[in-house]
Structure 1
Amino acid sequence: METVWSLVIDVIVTGGIGFALWAADRRHGKYGIMLPVALGVVIACLAWIVLVAGGTGYLTGLTWMPWVIPMALGIVVSFAVTKLVERRREKRDVADLTRVLRG
Structure 2
Amino acid sequence: MLSLTIVVLAAAAAGFIVWANDKRHAKYGAGVPAGVSVAVAALAWIILMAAGFGYLPGLTWIPWVLPIVLGAAAATAAAIYLGRSRARQDTERLTAILRA
Please tell me the TM-score bracket, short chain as reference.
Answer: over 0.9
For residues 91 and 35 of structure 2, the distance between their equivalents in structure 1, rounded to whole angstroms, comes to 27
Paired AA for residue 27 in structure 2: K
Is 1:7 aligned with 2:4? yes
Corresponding residue SS for 1:57:
helix
Structure 1 gap ranges (5+): none
User: Residue in 2 aligned with 1:90?
Assistant: 87
Tell me which residue corresponds to 1:100: 97
What residue in structure 1 maps to residue 35 of structure 2? 38
- 1:78 is aligned, of 62, 69, 75, to 75
Q: Kindly tell me the number of residue pairs found equivalent between the two proteins.
A: 100
* Percent of aligned pairs with the same amino acid: 45
What's the TM-score once normalised by structure 2's chain length?
A: 0.95
Per-residue CA deviations over 1:18-57 (Å, capped at 9, x if unaligned) read 1122222232111111001100000000000000000000
CA distance in 2 between counterparts of 1:24 and 1:59 reads 36
The alignment partner of 1:61 has SS state of coil
Equivalent residue for 1:55, pick from 47, 52, 57: 52
**What per-residue deviation string (whole Å, max 9, x for no partner) do you get for residues 74-95 of structure 1?**
0000011111011000111101
Alignment-mate amino acid for residue 62 of structure 1: L
Instruction: Give 1:17 shift.
Output: 1.7
Runs of 4+ in 1 over 4 A off after TM superposition: none
* Offset at residue 60 of structure 1 (A): 0.9
Q: TM-score, normalised by structure 1?
A: 0.92
Q: How large is the Cα RMSD of the aligned pairs?
A: 0.9
